[in-house]
Amino acid sequence: MSMIDSEYVQVDDNVYLHIRDWGQGNPIVFVPGWPFGHEMFEYQFIQLPRQGYRCIGVSMRGFGKSSKPWGEYTYDVFADDLQSVLESLDLHDVTLVGFSMGGAIALRYMARHKGDRIANLVLCSSAAPSFTTSPGFPLGTEPGAVDILIELCYSDRARLNADFGRIFFKNSNEISTPLLNWFQSLGMEASPHATAACLATLRDSDLRADIQSVNVPTVIFHGLHDRICPFALAETMTAPAEAMPAGGEAMAVGTEAISAGEEPLAGGIRGARLVRFENSGHALFYEEHVKFNAELINFIEKKPLAEKVFFPL
């Protein structure tokens, strides 16, 4: 097998996903978020293989160096692609790490493929259970705001990525210009069609039913200052239905308070634990990468985490 062959997995006719496969040991599969490829996990890949883990990054179709076909970009398509990668690499007992939209993809994989080959699930800054608000789900982004982003993608995608970078971190003024430019370049490597299509998928998808399918140990990493996927989204996935976030104290900045008398938004993932990243926005994997890597290892090795169980088994 050539080096080029080893870096790509065919998942469909003329569709190849670019992967990074570093290290040996228990496998950790990383699914990046919109609009990035697996390169975003650089500060995990330069550390975790040295700790005895095999790290596999998967750039989804349309992003990074993967194929960029015309066609559908739905969570079902991505979940099927992910299964093809796991099967092609013959991976078992995987710790699946999904960031932002990648977290939504991971949840759809758990539901659609019944958690095949997965031993642990890690949801990071996840765009779930729903990225946008709806009559039964008042958290997240207004659908109309996503429509504006789609229009901007078709008229000035470079500005779309630049604007995204400014709210990606807790405080972009504390991030070096070269690093901001690097993230901008990662986003511009994506297909413009995939960039817009995934915004529509984020806008239209509801994963509240999918989270009920999770049947493996799960931890949720989320930044308290996340302006893209509010912290309250993580709370909805870590509390039982009778103890969903209610009132202003449970809400993240920019979200509407839910009165204590309203019906539950969803049931949490059974046994899920929540680890708060006090000094992070959306980019907790970089802003607190030392804590991120340590908590990930603690979870895999079943060591104590920083937070309590919200929904005991």
Of the pLDDT bands very low, low, confident and very high (cuts 50, 70, 90), residue 239 is: low
User: Over 50: is that where the pLDDT of 236 sits?
Assistant: yes
- Interatomic CA distance for residues 60 and 217, integer angstroms: 24
Q: Of 160, 190, 256, which Cα lies nearest the Cα of 32?
A: 190
Is the pLDDT at 263 greater than 60? The verdict is no
Q: Give me 84's structure tokens.
A: 């093809």
Distance between CA 122 and CA 132 in Å, rounded?
21
18, 38, 222, 282: which is the annotated catalytic residue? 282
Number of domains in the chain: 1
- Which element (helix H / strand E) includes 233? helix 231-238
Tokens (6 digits) for 93: 């007992």
Whether residue 87 is contained in a domain is answered as yes
Q: Is residue 305 part of a domain?
A: no
Looking at the chain, the number of H-run helices and the number of E-run strands are 11, 8
Looking up tokens 């938004």 gives 265
CB atoms within 10 A of CB 130: 24
The yes-or-no verdict on residue 243 having pLDDT over 80 is no
d(CA 127, CA 306): 22
Which one from 67, 100, 130, 205 is the annotated catalytic residue?
A: 100
Place of tokens 């997995």: 9
> Per the domain annotation, does 313 fall within a domain?
no
What are the tokens at 272? Answer: 């899920």
Provide the 3-class DSSP secondary structure of residue 203. helix
pLDDT at 267: 60
Which run of H or of E encompasses 201?
helix 192-204
Of 35, 109, 108, residue with least CA distance to 68: 35
Paired with 118 in beta bridges are 94
Is 100 in the active site? yes
The answer to whether position 283 is within a domain reads yes
309 in a structural domain: no
3-class state of residue 214 by DSSP: coil
Residue type, 152: L
Query: 257 pLDDT exceeds 80?
Result: no
Specify the amino acid at residue 245.
Answer: P
Given this model, what pLDDT does residue 5 score?
A: 59
Q: What is the pLDDT of residue 238?
A: 84
| Predicted structure pTM score | 0.89
- Is 226 an annotated catalytic residue? yes
Whether residue 262 is predicted with pLDDT greater than 50 in this model: the reply is no
CATH number for the domain harbouring residue 194? 3.40.50.1820
> Per the domain annotation, does 310 fall within a domain?
no
Q: How confident is the model at residue 305 (pLDDT cuts 50, 70, 90)?
A: low
Domain assignment present for 80? yes
Predicted confidence (pLDDT) per residue in 167-220, tens digit: 999 999 999 999 999 999 999 999 999 999 999 999 999 999 999 999 999 999
Q: What is the percent of the chain where pLDDT is above 70?
A: 86
Range of the domain at 264: 3-300
Inside any domain, residue 197: yes
Please tell me what DSSP assigns to residue 122.
E
Q: Residue 261's CB: how many other CB atoms inside 10 A?
A: 6
To the nearest whole number, what is the mean pLDDT of the chain? 89
Q: Which of 125, 205, 210, 226 is catalytic?
A: 226
